[in-house]
A and B are shown apart, each in its own frame.
Chain A
């Protein structure tokens, strides 16, 4: 039986981060993961992450995964794949299925970073082929390059549902509706806006009644629910779809910890181990990190991983208490800032009426997925001035600040508090470089020039679909709700390495549309429909 200073179960963002920090401090570390590829969910995340610059914001998830893996290898961490930890016993002995046998390992410390599994909901026909989890859709698209379906209905308006809907459209699928039983959008407004302006209708307070089809899904019926979740009769709607995608939350995969005898607690967010702020469970030497101890974003999972890796080093005496305190201070600060804002854990289920700045939140954003023109004016990112200037449609306090750094002219101000709304400093001159547009993980920044030509305005928007429109192509401009509002012509297409695949397209629209037009479709697509 091999012995290690630290055994980590799970090679996702939390597990790898923990392994790296521990190995850096001299521990002999091995990581087991049941998948054939390391990185957990990171490799399915093709979008840019939110957060602060220090914590890898605006970097795409799969790149973060690649970097973590490289660092782990450099630090001498052994990562064993296709290795399932099937048992966790007294004295931190684990049994692992590797190949055709079961092997025993003993860890002086153990970090469980097994992540979470997707929740399902039941409705008539939910077991039909064609009803899939959002995670499965991501695996098909982003790992195996397969289209999950052609016409898709998404259930769930949390960040997973919103992000995966966008990715489905990027893969060439049509998302016919986004449905959620809750009365308001659960995820970030910027994620919702980015699919709403492509024309995806939002059905809040709606749920799936039935998946239709004999052998596989060929349709779906949804209906509206009242405030006590009862179906309102006569509200049924039918959609022709071949796929129903479920994004209805995650549950921590904490069974190993229960098996190890850790004190557990049942919470609305799932069955989780009791642990302190360093991830230490009730069993000395067993730590946790990431979603297994409560569902959060990958960014917080990485920080939790680092903290528990450092704590494991201290537990074994590789570093002293003083160094532990010093090393995790910064991490804890970063973790606290990620947990602030409107989507903070303590705000779950609460209805927030005003931003931290005291501005009334956009009700339409929560109900329909986009901000109405009448609402956008009150936010500090919205300005109207001469020449080209950024318009930032970021209206919720979320922990994210790459736009502030992106502007070389310092036009964008967020300040010390990472959740503050970005504001435009009108005394600084915008040079129209577009770095802010490309840096915004929420694709919520536009460059607007109200006086591009006599009677015409130019709008630059982030564009992550292929094929890219060409300069000179004619098409239609869509408003925030995805409605065609006017003719538009592409006058510039920018692609730069620094933009990291967020292309910038500039369209010319009639001047009075400058505050409305936020997306572009080619004429060819218009004709198809």
Chain B
């Protein structure tokens, strides 16, 4: 817990901004304010943010919002966006229905 406190010090209190209502992740309907708030809740990496808020986990898989979320988080952390590691890339790269995902070809014939 003290480690977290150490990480948090320096970024200040969460202050609301006029455009906090703006939706950033359209698929999961996550607003700018929610993303900024998450940083103050201790989510400092893109992977943490993704698990906490589900940003980039909807239909487009972050194709639209990933870089925007990253910029918002970086700004909140007072660092450059390039210092933040993007979230882990995992298969499937595109949303795939479960019935198809489960219909995987069996071992070599």
Apart from A102-B96, A102-B103, list 19 A-B contacts with CB within 8 A. Answer: A34-B94, A84-B92, A86-B91, A86-B92, A87-B92, A95-B104, A97-B96, A100-B99, A100-B100, A101-B100, A102-B101, A117-B63, A120-B65, A120-B68, A122-B22, A122-B24, A127-B23, A266-B81, A266-B82
Write out, one digit per residue, whether chain A residues 241-270 have a CB within 8 A of any chain B CB (1) or not (0).
000000000010101101100000011101
B26-41, CB < 8 A from A: 26, 32
Whether the Cβ atoms of B104 and A102 lie closer than 8 Å is yes
The answer to the question of B67 belonging to the interface, with a C-beta cut-off of 8 Å to chain A, is yes
Question: Nearest chain-B residue to A257 (Cβ)?
Answer: B89
Write out, one digit per residue, whether chain A residues 82-95 have a CB within 8 A of any chain B CB (1) or not (0).
00111111000001
The answer to the question of B6 belonging to the interface, with a C-beta cut-off of 8 Å to chain A, is no
Whether the Cβ atoms of A101 and B104 lie closer than 8 Å is yes
A-B contact pairs, 17 of them (CB 8 A): A1-B105, A85-B93, A87-B93, A97-B92, A97-B94, A100-B103, A101-B100, A102-B103, A102-B104, A104-B104, A120-B68, A123-B22, A124-B22, A256-B89, A258-B89, A266-B82, A266-B86
Decide: A101 near B86, CB < 8 A? Known: A84-B93, A86-B94, A259-B91. no
A136 to B: closest C-beta gap in Å? 12
Q: Bound state CA distance, A4 and B88, in angstroms?
A: 28
A45 to B: closest C-beta gap in Å? 21
Provide the residues of chain A in CB contact with B32, threshold 8 Å. 122
Question: Nearest chain-B residue to A88 (Cβ)?
Answer: B91
The answer to the question of B13 belonging to the interface, with a C-beta cut-off of 8 Å to chain A, is no
Question: Nearest chain-B residue to A117 (Cβ)?
Answer: B63
Provide the residues of chain B in CB contact with A101, threshold 8 Å. 100, 103-105
The answer to the question of A119 belonging to the interface, with a C-beta cut-off of 8 Å to chain B, is yes
B1-35, CB < 8 A from A: 19, 22-24, 26, 32
Q: Bound state CA distance, A259 and B108, in angstroms?
A: 24
Provide the residues of chain A in CB contact with B81, threshold 8 Å. 266
Provide the residues of chain B in CB contact with A251, threshold 8 Å. 67
Q: Bound state CA distance, A310 and B96, in angstroms?
A: 34
Question: Nearest chain-A residue to B21 (Cβ)?
Answer: A124
Q: Bound state CA distance, A387 and B15, in angstroms?
A: 70
The answer to the question of A103 belonging to the interface, with a C-beta cut-off of 8 Å to chain B, is yes
B92 to A: closest C-beta gap in Å? 4
Interface residues contributed by chain A, number (CB under 8 Å): 34
Write out, one digit per residue, whether chain A residues 189-213 have a CB within 8 A of any chain B CB (1) or not (0).
0000000000000000000000000
A106-135, CB < 8 A from B: 117, 119-120, 122-124, 126-127
B108 to A: closest C-beta gap in Å? 5
The answer to the question of B64 belonging to the interface, with a C-beta cut-off of 8 Å to chain A, is yes
The answer to the question of A271 belonging to the interface, with a C-beta cut-off of 8 Å to chain B, is yes
Decide: A271 near B86, CB < 8 A? Known: A86-B94, A101-B105. yes
Q: Tell me the dominant secondary structure on chain A's binding face.
A: strand
Q: Bound state CA distance, A9 and B26, in angstroms?
A: 27
Whether the Cβ atoms of B26 and A127 lie closer than 8 Å is yes
Q: Bound state CA distance, A268 and B104, in angstroms?
A: 38
Whether the Cβ atoms of A259 and B89 lie closer than 8 Å is yes
B63 to A: closest C-beta gap in Å? 5
Q: Tell me the dominant secondary structure on chain B's binding face.
A: loop
A221 to B: closest C-beta gap in Å? 15
Question: Nearest chain-A residue to B105 (Cβ)?
Answer: A103
A392 to B: closest C-beta gap in Å? 40
Question: Nearest chain-B residue to A265 (Cβ)?
Answer: B82
B71-105, CB < 8 A from A: 81-83, 86, 88-94, 96, 99-101, 103-105
B87 to A: closest C-beta gap in Å? 9
Provide the residues of chain A in CB contact with B88, threshold 8 Å. 258
A217 to B: closest C-beta gap in Å? 15
Provide the residues of chain B in CB contact with A87, threshold 8 Å. 91-93
B71 to A: closest C-beta gap in Å? 10
A255 to B: closest C-beta gap in Å? 4
Question: Nearest chain-B residue to A260 (Cβ)?
Answer: B89
Provide the residues of chain A in CB contact with B23, threshold 8 Å. 122, 127
Whether the Cβ atoms of B100 and A259 lie closer than 8 Å is no
Q: Bound state CA distance, A124 and B96, in angstroms?
A: 32
Question: Nearest chain-B residue to A259 (Cβ)?
Answer: B89
Provide the residues of chain B in CB contact with A256, threshold 8 Å. 89, 93
Query: Which of A84, A104, A122, A127 is in CB contact (< 8 Å) with B94?
Result: A84
Question: Nearest chain-B residue to A255 (Cβ)?
Answer: B89
Provide the residues of chain B in CB contact with A100, threshold 8 Å. 99-100, 103
Q: Bound state CA distance, A492 and B96, in angstroms?
A: 57
Provide the residues of chain A in CB contact with B94, threshold 8 Å. 34, 84, 86, 97
Whether the Cβ atoms of B100 and A120 lie closer than 8 Å is no
Q: Bound state CA distance, A127 and B22, in angstroms?
A: 9
Provide the residues of chain A in CB contact with B65, threshold 8 Å. 120
B54 to A: closest C-beta gap in Å? 17
Q: Bound state CA distance, A84 and B101, in angstroms?
A: 12
Query: Which of B68, B93, B100, B105 is in CB contact (< 8 Å) with A122?
Result: B68
Whether the Cβ atoms of A120 and B103 lie closer than 8 Å is no
Query: Which of A102, A104, A253, A266 is in CB contact (< 8 Å) with B100?
Result: A102
A253 to B: closest C-beta gap in Å? 8
Question: Nearest chain-A residue to B104 (Cβ)?
Answer: A102
Provide the residues of chain B in CB contact with A124, threshold 8 Å. 19, 22
Write out, one digit per residue, whether chain A residues 60-96 have a CB within 8 A of any chain B CB (1) or not (0).
0000000000000000000000001111110000010
Query: Which of B22, B26, B68, B93 is in CB contact (< 8 Å) with A255?
Result: B93
